[in-house]
């Protein structure tokens, strides 16, 4: 089965959030909902600022799905990780289990 992803050169990221905006537009994501995060790390000693994008990696065997006590996380027909926000109880166990820190609240 094909799997989609996004590849970007983190060394060229300037934190403009264009990828964030494009994702919201393309997927018609409602206001207040974020599927991506742009993180900023400052290395004061080296005088360098780095940015990187964080989002769900749609894992083959998602750790978040295994720990969700409300069974709010499932796999979609194309391998995507889906969250039923009506079932979610906000315990954040998925965030603790995710190696990418991707779940958002």
pLDDT tens, residue by residue, 34-53 = 778 888 999 999 998 988 88
CA distance linking residue 64 with residue 16, whole number of Å: 29
Asked if residue 2 has pLDDT above 80, the reply is no
Domains observed in the chain: 1-55 (3.30.70.20), 58-105 (3.30.70.20)
pLDDT score recorded for residue 83: 92
Query: Please, which residues have CB within 8 angstroms of residue 97's CB and are 6 or more apart in sequence?
Result: 63, 64, 66, 67
pLDDT score recorded for residue 4: 67
pLDDT tens, residue by residue, 50-104 = 888 888 888 999 999 999 999 999 999 888 899 998 999 999 999 999 998 888 7
Question: Are the C-beta atoms of residues 90 and 73 closer than 8 Å to each other?
Answer: no
pLDDT score recorded for residue 94: 96
């Amino acid at each position: 089965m094909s799997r989609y992803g996004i590849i970007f050169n983190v060394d060229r990221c300037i934190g403009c959030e264009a990828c964030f905006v494009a994702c919201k537009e393309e997927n018609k994501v409602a206001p207040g909902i974020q599927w991506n995060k742009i993180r900023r790390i400052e290395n004061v000693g080296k005088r360098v600022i780095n940015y990187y994008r964080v989002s769900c990696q749609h894992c083959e065997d998602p750790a978040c799905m295994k720990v969700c006590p409300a069974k709010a996380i499932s796999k979609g027909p194309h391998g995507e990780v889906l969250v039923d926000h009506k079932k979610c109880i906000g315990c954040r166990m998925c965030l603790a289990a995710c190696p990418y820190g991707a779940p958002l609240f």
